[in-house]
Amino acid sequence: MARYIFVTGGVVSSLGKGLSSASLAYLLQSRGYKVRLRKLDPYLNVDPGTMSPFQHGEVFVTDDGAETDLDLGHYERFSGISAKQSDNVTTGKIYSDILKKERKGLYLGKTVQVIPHVTNQIKEFIKNDIGNEDFVICEIGGTVGDIESLPFLEAIRQFSIDVGNKNSLFIHLTLVPYMKASDEIKTKPTQHSVKELRALGIQPNIIICRCEQPIPFGQRKKISLFCNVPIKNVIETIDVKTIYEAPISFYKEKLDQQVLDYFKLKSKKKPNLLPWKKITKTILNSKASINIAIIGKYVNLKDAYKSLDEALTHGGIKNNIKINLIRVESDHLKPAQIKKKLLGIHGILIPGGFGKRGTEGKIAAITYARTKKIPFLGICFGMQMAVIEFARNVLKIKKASSTEISDNCIPIVGLIDEWTKNGKIQKGTSKDLGGSMRLGLYPAKLKESSLIKRIYKSKTIAERHRHRYEVNINYQNDFEKNGMLFSGISPDNKLPEVIEIKKHPWFIGVQFHPEFKSRPLFPHPLSVSYTHLTLPTIYSV
Ligand code: GLN
C-alpha cells in the first residue's frame, strides 16, 4: 500500500512547498522508491485554465491535456515523472463533481454537506488512480488559516485516520524570519501556524523552516518543544542560489532520511546527487552568457512563463552558458524603438499568449528578427504571429491576421473547432472557455531536410498543445514558394505544427509548447539548439 505524505504551508504563501515536495520526491525516488506527486488547490476555479497568468502564474499542461497548477511543472522537472489529469484538483472541480452527482440523485435524498460529502470527494481524489507507488506526496495549496483550505485540511486529517499513522505523514512548511533590527531569528510565526494546524486536528510530524540564515540550535529546540516535533524533524531550508540546488540542501538536512525513519523503511540505495551538483556548478560558474528577449504581455510577473524560463536555463546548462532573460513588454513596443530596445540581444522569443493587446509590438519584433537574421523562436501564439508577419510583409497580404484578434481580416490564423486525436474527431467550443482548447500531447510529422528535423533527430514528435486557433493550411503553397516552410504537420496533413524560414540562420515557430517537456536532466532539443545558436561567438547581432 502507498504511504501518503501531506505537505501544508503556514505563515505566508510562496514558501516553496512545490519545490520542497518535488525535491523530496527526487530523493525518495533516487533511494529506490516509486513516488507520485499531487496538488490540491483550494480556489473555486475548476482548473487554472481560465485564470490570468497575472493571478496565478503559468498554466501547466500535462500529456493527457489537463490545465494545471505550475507546481506540477516543478514536480515533472525534478521527478521526471509525467503528471496526469488525476494529479491536480481544485475546490471548483470537487464541487462541480458533487453537484453533478446531486443532480443525478446519487446522494439518495440525503442533505449534501461539507462533511462528509466534500471531504469524501477529496479523499477519493487523493487515492484515485494510484498503482504500485510507495509514496504519494500531496501538496495542499494556500496557507493554513485560509477559510478556503479548511475542507482539504479536514479531509487529510480524516484520511490519515483511515489509512493509519503508519501510512501517513504530515509535513508543515513555515517561515522563520530574521529580524535585522534585533539580529534575531523568530520562531513565533511558526509556533502560531502549527497551533492553527493542531486546532484542526493535524499534528505535523516534520516542520520545514524557510529562513534566510541558518537556524541556531536554541531556536530549533524551541520549535521542537512548542510545536511538539522531535528536534531531528525540524528541517531548515535556506534560500538556495538556484532551485536545482534544493535536493542537495534537503539531503544535507536529512529530510528524506527522517521520512524513511518515520515509516520505518530502510533506504534501498544512497541518493544520487551528482546530476544536481553538476547542474548547480554549471549554472553558477558558466562564464559565457547570452541575452534572450522574451517579448510578451505578462512579463512583469516572474511566474507567468515559468516552464519557458526553466527550459531555456536547461538549454544553457547543456551548452554551459548563462542565459539572461530580458523581458520586454510588447504592449508599448513601437517599431521605431525596437532597435534600441533590443540592443545586445542574441535571440528573440515570442511565447504563448492570448488576445489582441500587444500583438503589433510582437509582430514588429518578428520583422526585426526576420530581416536582421536574429535567431527567433515563436511558441504557439508566437508562431501564429510569425506567420501573420510573413503574410503581411513578404506575401503582401496586408490584412492578414488571426480571427482571435481581428473581426475584419484575411484569416491566416483562424478558429478551428474540430481536430483528430487517435483517429477520432475532437470538438472544441468557443462558448465555454474552460477546457475547450486543443490540449495535451499530439503527434506531428517533420519534413525531410528541415532544420526542425535535424534538431529533433526524428521524423515524428509528440508535444503538448494549448490553443484554440490554427494556421490555415490552405496558404501552405504561398508561404513555401516565398521561403517559409511548413516543416511540421499533423498526421492528417491538416494542421501546420512547425514553420521555419529557409534563408535564416535560425527562425522557427512551433504551434505547441516545447517548454512543458524540458527537464534539467533531459533538456529539450529545441532549447539546446536555440541557446547554442545564439552564442555570441558563433553568431553576433
Ligand atoms: N491564443 C492562441 C490560441 O488560442 C495561442 C494560445 C497559446 O499561445 N497558448 O490559439
| Least confidently predicted of 76-80, 243-247, 430-434, 457-461 | 430-434
pLDDT in tens, 290-335: 999 999 987 777 788 999 999 999 999 999 999 999 999 998 888 8
Arithmetic mean of pLDDT over the chain: 92
pLDDT in tens, 118-152: 999 999 999 999 999 999 999 999 999 999 999 99
Cα–ligand 1 centroid distance for 358 (angstroms): 14
Residue nearest to atom 1 of ligand 1 (CA): 354
Cα–ligand 1 centroid distance for 330 (angstroms): 16
Atom nearest to 379 CA in ligand 1? 8
Which protein residues are within 6 Å of ligand 1, measured from CB?
A: 352-354, 380-381, 404, 466-469
Among residues 372, 375, 347, 348, which one has the least CA distance to residue 290?
347
Which pTM value belongs to this model?
0.92
Q: pLDDT confidence of 518, banded at 50, 70, 90? A: very high
Residue nearest to atom 5 of ligand 1 (CA): 381
Cα–ligand 1 centroid distance for 10 (angstroms): 36
Q: Which of 138, 380, 465, 504 is catalytic?
A: 380
Q: Which of 346, 513, 524, 532 is catalytic?
A: 513
Atom nearest to 437 CA in ligand 1? 4
CA distances from 390 to 293, 341, 356, 459 (A): 20, 22, 18, 26
Among residues 518, 213, 224, 215, which one has the least CA distance to residue 379?
518
Q: How much is the pLDDT for 425?
A: 66
Give the separation between CA 518 and CA 439, rounded to whole angstroms. 18
Atom nearest to 469 CA in ligand 1? 10
Whether residue 524 lies in the annotated active site: no
Whether residue 380 lies in the annotated active site: yes
Residue nearest to atom 6 of ligand 1 (CA): 467
Pick from 350, 417, 469, 471 the residue to mutate for probing ligand 1's pocket: most ligand atoms within 8 Å of its CB: 469
Q: Is the pLDDT of residue 415 over 90?
A: no
pLDDT in tens, 62-71: 999 999 999 9
Percent of all residues in the chain with a pLDDT value above 70, rounded to a whole number: 95
Residue nearest to atom 7 of ligand 1 (CA): 352
CA angle 475, 438, 480 (to 5 degrees): 20
Among residues 523, 465, 74, which one has the least CA distance to residue 307?
74
Instruction: Check residues 82 and 267 and name the one with the higher pLDDT.
Output: 82
Whether residue 515 lies in the annotated active site: yes
| Least confidently predicted of 47-56, 270-279, 450-459 | 47-56
Pick from 413, 417, 429, 466 the residue to mutate for probing ligand 1's pocket: most ligand atoms within 8 Å of its CB: 466
The set of long-range contacts for 95-99, using a CB threshold of 8 Å and a minimum separation of 24, is 95/44, 96/46, 97/121
Mean pLDDT to the nearest integer, 25-42:
96
